[in-house]
Amino acid sequence: MRHRKVSTTFGRSTAHRKAMLASLVCSLIVEKRITTTLTKAKAMRQLAEKMVTLAKRGTLATRCRAVSVLHRKDVVKMLFSDIAPQCQDRNGGYTRIVKLAGCRSDGATLAIVEWISIRAVDKKKKPAAKDEKKNEPAASAAG
């Protein structure tokens, strides 16, 4: 019987499941928006919100607890320095899940998970400063 079970097991062992959810949360912290299946997104949201609540306290003990769950010090540093200050005025509900169409291969429902108060970084746009530097040496050599 499945009485009082909090989450699905995803057909994985406990260690594998915790590592998978921690990896998803780390990706969310770094990328600000990720695409995954709906069931993984719902399970990941719980861990992500707990990590932001820890980061809002900002003590050394909460930082150690976050490192013990996420296993990446650089990501925990980003969580405490970038995400937590922007979520100080919210009392929970830091993430948003947007459903997408199903996967073509297996029909799994996909979802986008993103922070509510933080904008995602657009990787496709190139900074203009790099383009100007490339054009300047060619123009000065010709003229």
In this prediction the pTM is 0.80
Q: In what order do the strands lie in the sheet with 109-115?
A: 33-37, 109-115, 95-102
The domain of 125 spans: 14-142
- Percent residues over pLDDT 90 in the chain: 70
User: Does the pLDDT of residue 99 top 90, yes or no?
Assistant: yes
CB atoms within 10 A of CB 108: 13
Pairing of strands 95-102, 109-115: antiparallel
| pLDDT tens digits, one per residue of 102-128 | 888 888 999 999 999 887 666 666 556
Amino acid occupying residue 6: V
The answer to whether residues 43 and 95 touch, using CB atoms and an 8 Å cutoff, is no
| pLDDT tens digits, one per residue of 19-52 | 999 999 999 999 999 999 999 999 999 999 999 9
User: Does the pLDDT of residue 135 top 70, yes or no?
Assistant: no
Total structural domains in the chain?
Answer: 1
Is position 3 within any domain? no
CATH number at residue 134: 3.90.1030.10
The CA-to-CA distance between both ends of the chain, in Å, stands at 80
pLDDT at 140: 54
Pairing of strands 109-115, 33-37: antiparallel
Is position 72 within any domain? yes
Is position 43 within any domain? yes
